[in-house]
Amino acid sequence: MESTLRKSLICALALLAAAPAVSHAATSNKHTTSVEVRYNDLDLSQPAGAAKMLRRLDVAATEACGASEGSLSDYVWAVHRSACHAKSLNRAVTALDAPELTALYDARLARPGGAAYISVN
């Protein structure tokens, strides 16, 4: 009897310990990260300004989706090709409603591979 009680107590403690992790995983999909991108120094109606802005947005999307300058290159590569990155970049370009920026973004999407990956070189 004592052995059964002990096993039940151990199982209950294990479930209680796992509950916060499960709860966090269920709510972490709703987490939104915002990254400020300044562009008051750019003329988005000019190709050079639009290209700089697209690079800034790419870096911000990468950061918002979990990668940073210190991340492993394979991880950054994966983030660049993630749905999070594609949606974030698309949302930002659409929100700015700058025709030159949108045209540049659309041209990059039309390249072979079609991913929303913007080279940061």
Q: Sketch the domain layout of the chain as residue ranges.
A: 1-31, 47-110
Give the chain's mean pLDDT. Answer: 76
User: CA 97, CA 19: separation in Å to the nearest integer?
Assistant: 44
Joined tokens for residue 52:
């700089």
Segment 62-112, tens digit of pLDDT = 999 998 888 899 998 999 889 999 999 999 999 999 999 999 999 988 876
pTM for this prediction: 0.68
